[in-house]
Amino acid sequence: GSEKDTVVLECSHIVAADGAYSKVRRDVGICMSGERDLETFASIHFSSTELGKKLISTGNGAMLSFVFNEETIAVVVAHDMRKGDWVIHVPFFPPIQSAKDFENKNVVENIIRACLGTSFTDDINFDLHSVRAWGMHATRADSFSDLDNRIFLVGDAAHQFPPSGGFGVNAGLVDAHNLACKLTFVKNGFAPNSYLSNYDMERRPVVEEAIQVAVDNYRRGLIPAKILGLDRGVVSSAMSVINTLSPQLNKIAKLYPATGNEADPLNVSKIMFDSLLQAGRFHLNGYGSEKSTFDTRSLLNKFYDYDKARQRLKEIVENKEEGLPLLFPHIDIGFKYCIDPARLENTRGTISEQGDNILSWTSPPHHRTMSGNYDDGRTRCSLRPGCIIPHVYLRKTQTKSTISSLDLCNLGTTFTFIASDLKLIRAMVAELKKNPLHKENKTLMTKFILIVPTSQQNNTFDVEALDIASVFIDISGDWKALCDEWDVSGVLVRPDQHIQLVLSNESDLVSKIAQLSF
């Protein structure tokens, strides 16, 4: 717009949530690292209530379907099967192929019908809504904030994931939650602005590991295609050969004008590449229906061992160790922030001196369990600094309502102290009043939780107790079991549900509270 449409705002901090092509990130000069263009897709959004009803009635519906046939290769995602909302992701290969190849409505509709299969093609109607091209990246910003800790990146501005795992939105939400808590500390005078550097130090290692898992999932997703004779490496080699031959193709195109104009050498390359792809898919006919013409299956059986391939695919699907996992408890909720007081003084200079080996701040690398999910025991309930507070069911004494221990924390408070000993809570209150952070009638701690066993659920707690703490009943005894296992008497929990520090006993209190000096 014109200069008169420009609005100038002055602020102490900026949170850039302006997407993968973040202008704020570029203006600050923060670079992205990782792998770009792992794959390029056209996403086809269509709807068909008929298809949804038919799949539900036959019990053949799935949230995620991989399609391999002679006509197309695609992934079909059911966003809402009952409403008939679907998206098809079709890979294509720039620069030989482009998004323009999907501008023809007939081409796109043929892809949809090819994905539906012969049993649905004749009697299923659908509405085409949109086609969008996108690139799959596995990248993250070299820093999630500027050097002055005034400009911060969250969400896609800070990282881009392959969709294999569904980490993108979740990571963005956790970014925002983590940063909001830290900004609250600074704005309320509990921490200096330099404390905000911990946002980058905590979130970047977690994001890096999640990216590694997402890339691993993507590569695992290529295994079934390879078993079917569709090797992604062969496609890359074919593209390389055609690109190498491009000068010769250009000369040939000039010798054979098409319809009065010189043939486009790129079209010649595309025709050749499309033909190679079609030839590469031809053998998939042998996996198809018995309607194959000119006894295609008998012919193909001479070149491909379909029974062996089917058996191998069956093994992968049934063996959860080899298959594509659907649950990632460590990545979703089991990650651990490094909340070592010594780390709080680190600067970006320290990070670069370590060679930017951000994974050195996290626990040992993950591995996959027999359940097919990424885990190494770290998602076990853990009462350790940096971990998310474990979930246990609790019942409030006053209202008798049942809640999760995760809901004990909220953004309305700075920290929450949880203990099973009222004496420890009183000692914590007294100690916090001595702390330099306690000033102007404000305290870093505003919420105290007392968890008692069911044997005390009918006890009458004195007024003093209720004045400084909300009382909850440990319904199943899980909280006591956790405290016994980890030798913990009390935990200090941040608003983002991660544990700041743990106390083993009352004598531990003074030294641990001293660690809260930001």
Judged against a pLDDT cut of 80, whether residue 304 lies above it is answered with: no
CATH of 393-514, one of 3.40.109.10, 3.40.30.120, 1.10.760.10, 3.30.200.20: 3.40.30.120
Lowest mean pLDDT of 127-141, 207-221, 271-285, name the range.
271-285
User: Coil, strand, or helix at residue 453?
Assistant: strand
- What confidence tens digit (pLDDT) does each residue in 204-222 have? 999 999 999 999 888 888 8
H/E segment holding residue 403: strand 402-404
Summarize pLDDT for 90-122 with one digit per residue, the tens: 999 888 788 998 999 999 999 999 888 766 656
Q: At what angle do helices 232-244 and 265-282 cross, to 10 degrees?
A: 150
In degrees, rounded to 5, the angle at the alpha carbon of residue 106 between the alpha carbons of residues 123 and 250 is: 145
Counting residues of the chain whose pLDDT is more than 90, the rounded percentage is 35
More confident residue, 409 or 353: 409
Res. 457: pLDDT tops 90? no
Q: Assign domain 34-141 to its CATH superfamily.
A: D-Amino Acid Oxidase, subunit A, domain 2 (3.30.9.10)
Whole-angstrom Cα Rg for the chain: 29
Give me the amino acid identity at 332: D
Q: Tell me whether the CATH fold assigned to 34-141 matches the one assigned to 393-514.
A: no
Residue 317: other Cβ atoms inside 10 A: 12
Q: Of how many residues is the chain composed?
A: 518
pLDDT in tens, 10-29: 999 999 999 999 999 999 99
Report yes or no: 233 and 240 within 8 Å, Cβ to Cβ.
no
Give the pairing type, strands 151-153 and 127-141: unpaired
Residue for token pair 């000119």: 294
Greatest pairwise CA separation for the chain in angstroms: 98
E-strand spans in 58-156?
A: 64-68, 73-80, 85-92, 127-141, 151-153
pLDDT of 427 > 70? The answer is: yes
Per-residue confidence (pLDDT) for residue 301, from 0 to 100:
58
Distance of alpha carbon 434 from alpha carbon 514, whole angstroms:
10
pTM attached to this predicted model: 0.79
pLDDT average, residue stretch 252-261: 56
User: In the structure, what pLDDT confidence band is assigned to residue 351 with cuts at 50, 70 and 90?
Assistant: very low
In whole numbers, what is the pLDDT of the chain averaged over residues?
78
Say whether pLDDT at 66 is over 70.
Answer: yes
Amino acid at 422: L
What ranges do the domains of the chain cover? 34-141, 230-303, 393-514
Cβ contact 311:485 at 8 Å: no
Looking at residue 156, its pLDDT comes to 96
Alpha-carbon span 389 to 372, nearest angstrom: 25
Q: In the prediction, which pLDDT does 72 show? A: 86
The C-alpha atoms of residue 418 and residue 405 are separated, in whole angstroms, by: 10
